[in-house]
Amino acid sequence: MTSGGSVQGIVRRQSSAERRDLEPAVLTVNRTDLQQLADVRIDDAAALLALPVPRTDSAYYLAGYAVECALKACIAKRYNQHDWPEKEFVNKSHTHNLASLLALANLDVALEADAKANHVLDSNWTIVKDWNEQSRYERHSEAKAQELINAIVDNANGVLPWIKARW
């Protein structure tokens, strides 16, 4: 997790010169932004769970977004600013499905191999991959939110450190 402080300017509005004739106020996010957002989201999730009255639903929801941002940073790594990805690939990247994002980042085979050799990483991925954006409409116990956060941040076998080693 990151240490305190705030992250400013993560999402930038493009200038009119950058937008040219696109729709107004197009938001852009790059790989560095996604890396920072992953850290901010998991820190926020942990902070919500640590409140005197834990905000378990929001903590669970934000924790999953941390992994989504991290995987999208890995996808962004595949393309330089001058590369033009296939439209189908771009469309598929606009998902919240963590298993799909893992495959789009070309990390599915590596995770499968590492998980076979490391049963704790395998268990952590099993917990994390079941997160989805629909969780914002669900209730989550403190134990379930803590389990997800632990599976994400565990220094030795967590999903986020595993992804960070590849982003």
**Residue 11, pLDDT score:** 55
Q: Does a structural domain hold residue 16?
A: yes
Q: Does a structural domain hold residue 2?
A: no
Q: Does a structural domain hold residue 7?
A: no
Distance (Å, whole) CA 125 – CA 105 = 15
Q: Does a structural domain hold residue 58?
A: yes
Distance (Å, whole) CA 82 – CA 88 = 18
Q: In this predicted model, what pLDDT tens digit does every residue of 130-149 receive, in sequence order?
A: 999 998 899 999 999 999 99
Question: What is the DSSP secondary-structure string of the chain?
Answer: ---SS----SSEEPPHHHHTTSPSS-EE--HHHHHHHHHHHHHHHHHHHHSSS--HHHHHHHHHHHHHHHHHHHHHHT--TT----HHHHHHHS---HHHHHHHTT-HHHHHHHHHH-HHHHHHHHHHTT--GGGGGS---HHHHHHHHHHHH-TTT-HHHHHHTT-
As given in the structure block, the two tokens for residue 36 are 């920072």
**Residue 4, pLDDT score:** 46
Q: Does a structural domain hold residue 3?
A: no
**Span 103-125, mean pLDDT?**
97
Q: Does a structural domain hold residue 6?
A: no
Which is nearest to 153 in space by CA: 67, 77, 87? Answer: 67
Q: Give the confidence band of 37 by pLDDT, cuts at 50, 70, 90.
A: very high
Domain enclosing residue 38, as ranges: 12-164
Question: What is the DSSP secondary-structure string of 117-137?
Answer: H-HHHHHHHHHHTT--GGGGG
Which CATH number is 159's domain given?
1.20.120.330
Q: Does a structural domain hold residue 83?
A: yes
Q: Does a structural domain hold residue 4?
A: no
**Residue 25, pLDDT score:** 61
> Does residue 3 register a pLDDT over 50?
no
Number of compact structural domains in the chain:
1
